[in-house]
Each structure stands twice: as structure tokens, then as C-alpha cells.
Amino acid sequence: MEMDCIRTQATLSALHDGEHVTEESAEAARMHCDDCGACRAFEADLRKLEALPAPQAPPGLVDRVMVAVAAIVAERAEDAIAAALPLEQPVAPTDAPGSTPRFEWLSGAGRWKTFGALGAAAAAVAVIAILVTRTPTPQTASTHLPSGAQTGALDLTFSNEAATRSAAPAAPAATPAPARAPDYLTFRNRVYAPGSLLSDAKTATDAIGTVTTAFGSAGAPTQARAYRSPLTDGSIVVTGPDGTRLYAPVIRVFNSLKYQMVAGNAVDRFGQWPELPSRFPAPTSPDGAPTFIVSGGDALGIPTYTAAGVPQMQGFAIAPGTPATDPAGSNPNWTWWEPMLIP
């Protein structure tokens, strides 16, 4: 496969996936397809995919999800309201017997914490309203919402035992880690996830090294050649059992810069979770102690942790159990992130 074909197919795949592509790159891909039958066939296959009908959720799934989400939102709203109650202290010694006790309101930082908790409760209520009103079209609200939500007010009283509230609200449960990690592979200890499939033919781009992986098989890991990507997003190209594929760096944004996950273990087959580099002992406390200290947050609001002697701009850690939508993907381990490099 020629370099122009690889660049064109990568651009066409990015356009199909809704990624940002410059007008110059898109025009170059269109012009190349005018003279290349293989790339025209590749584009035709992508159009066939676009023509496929959108998948439909199984009957009742939306109702069950709405009920579960509403129960969680209600629980957090009640916790926030409980946390917002002022720590009132009766001044009994100076009151006359039988008189109504006086109370003192929090001042300073305590008042701001209270206002913050009240704001969290209001936000939780707003989330319920959004969930109720933003339902898929063209189906009607009665098709998607559980009973009681069709009027715009969702009834948060459930007979479901999991949604039943006790008098003393329990702390929210930690995010359970998935049983299996995504289809990661590593190149020079940096973590990549599968992206767009190019062609089954071997790529003609410059070789930049090898990756050691068994891909999704149960066999022994082997070395697969890695090639420079035709894109400039830090991705690499690897030929595996399903063909030649772009592998995108697993990144997060901090201070407007991209940081990539760095693995300290051999992620040599799909489904393995990256771990901390060996130079960092695993923390023994949820707050990162004694290895890390919380120092800020990334663009998603996820707390970042620094290590002694390492400036945060050179790398930081992320605690385990982030949401599944986070770049760390609910990794049950602490993870380490360093500035992204273009291979």
C-alpha cells in the first residue's frame, strides 16, 4: 500500500468517525480517490456502514436506566441536603429554664461549604429535570420515561429495594472496575487503544519499532512491527489479526496540554490493566499517601496527584476507580501520565 493510500484511508476513517479533519486534508483525500480504485472501494465500504440503520435499545431498557439513574441522583441530592444543614449548637447554659434554645450559624469557611452543598443539591435536581426532558425523538416521552415522569416531575419513590433510602444515607459506592480492560497495547511503555481500521495490506510507512502483544488471543505474546502514523495525533499503525489499524494514544488534558498514560507493567495482551511505573510504590491510602499528594485537577475535574521530586508538568498520577468514560476507563490501579510524544 502506498503512503498516499494510507493517509487517504486514515482521513476517510476520521471523517466517518466524526473526527476533526482540515478542509485541506479532506480535499486531498477526495482527489486521491478520483485516481485510486482501492481507496474508492474503501470509501464505498464506509458509506455502506453509514447506511446501516441505527441500533435500537431493547424494550424497557431506557425505563430501567432512567429508574436507576433517578435513584442515584435522589440519593446524592439527599446526601447533599443533609450535608448542608447548619451545625447548630444550642447555647443551653445561658438560657433560662424552659426557654427556647438559641442556635449559632456557621461562619467563614463553614458557611461556604454549606452553600456549596446546597448548590450540589440544586444541581442534582437539575440533572433529574434534564434526564426527564431530554428524551430521544421521535418517540414520545411516554415511550421512554418511567411512570410519573411524563408530566416533567419524576417520582423518586421506588419499591425497588436497591433504591430505598434509609434514615442515615450511606456513602456512594465506589465505581466498580470492569472485569476486563480495553484492548490496550504499549509502545515504549506508552499506552494505546485501537482506532480506525485501515487496510489488510501491509503498511508502507516508516517502521518505528515493535510492540509485544498477543492481541486478543490466548497464545504467547509476539513482536509486531509498529509504523509511523500518517496522522499527527500521536497515533501509531500496527498490523494485527484483523488487519492494519491505527492505535490512538490514551490521553487526558491538563493545563491545556495532552498527557499520555504510561504503563509500568507488560501490557502484552488485550484486557490487561496498566499499572504504575516501578519507580513509584503503590499508595497504601486512598489519598495517595505515602507516594502521592493531591495537587489539582485535569480538564475533566479528575483530581491529579504529584510525586515527590517530579514537577507536575512532567507527570502526575490518577487514582483508581475513575468513571468508565474517563480516559483511565475505571482502571482499578493507580495510573501515571506524562506529556504526549509523537512517535
| Residue 81 belongs to some domain of the structure | yes
Cβ-based neighbours of 275, under 8 Å, separated by 6 or more? 263, 264, 265, 333, 334, 335
| Rounded (to 5) percent helix, strand, coil in the chain | 30, 20, 50
> What pLDDT, in 10s, does the model give residues 143-193?
333 333 333 333 333 333 333 333 333 433 445 556 689 999 999 999 999
Range of the domain at 38: 3-51
Q: What is the pLDDT of residue 150?
A: 36
Question: Are 192 and 220 found together in one domain?
Answer: yes
Residue 192 per-residue DSSP state: E
> What pLDDT, in 10s, does the model give residues 93-151?
444 444 433 333 333 444 444 445 445 545 544 544 444 444 444 433 333 333 333 33
| Residue 308 belongs to some domain of the structure | yes
Question: Are 152 and 75 found together in one domain?
Answer: yes
How many angstroms separate the CA atoms of 232 and 327, rounded? 20
Q: Burial of 324 by CB count in 10 Å (0-12 exposed, 13-18 middle, 19+ buried)? A: exposed
**Average pLDDT score over the chain:** 75
Element (H, E) at 199: none
The dihedral sign for the CA sequence 75, 302, 272, 342 = positive
| Residue 175 belongs to some domain of the structure | no
| Residue 117 belongs to some domain of the structure | yes
Strand partners, 317: 305, 336
Question: Are 47 and 78 found together in one domain?
Answer: no
Question: Are 212 and 283 found together in one domain?
Answer: no
Query: Based on the structure, what is the number of domains in the chain?
Result: 4
The set of cell numbers assigned to 58 is 431493547
Do 321 and 304 meet the contact criterion of CB atoms below 8 Å apart? no
Q: Is the bond preceding residue 290 a cis peptide, omega within 30 degrees?
A: yes
Q: Is the pLDDT of residue 21 over 60?
A: yes
| Helix (H/G/I), strand (E/B), else coil: 186 | strand
The set of cell numbers assigned to 175 is 465505581
Q: Is the pLDDT of residue 306 over 90?
A: yes
Question: Are 200 and 265 found together in one domain?
Answer: no
Question: Are 72 and 148 found together in one domain?
Answer: yes
Alpha helices in 134-221 (DSSP H): 141-144
Question: Are 243 and 321 found together in one domain?
Answer: no
> What pLDDT, in 10s, does the model give residues 196-253?
888 654 545 788 999 999 999 999 999 999 998 888 788 999 988 888 899 999 999 9
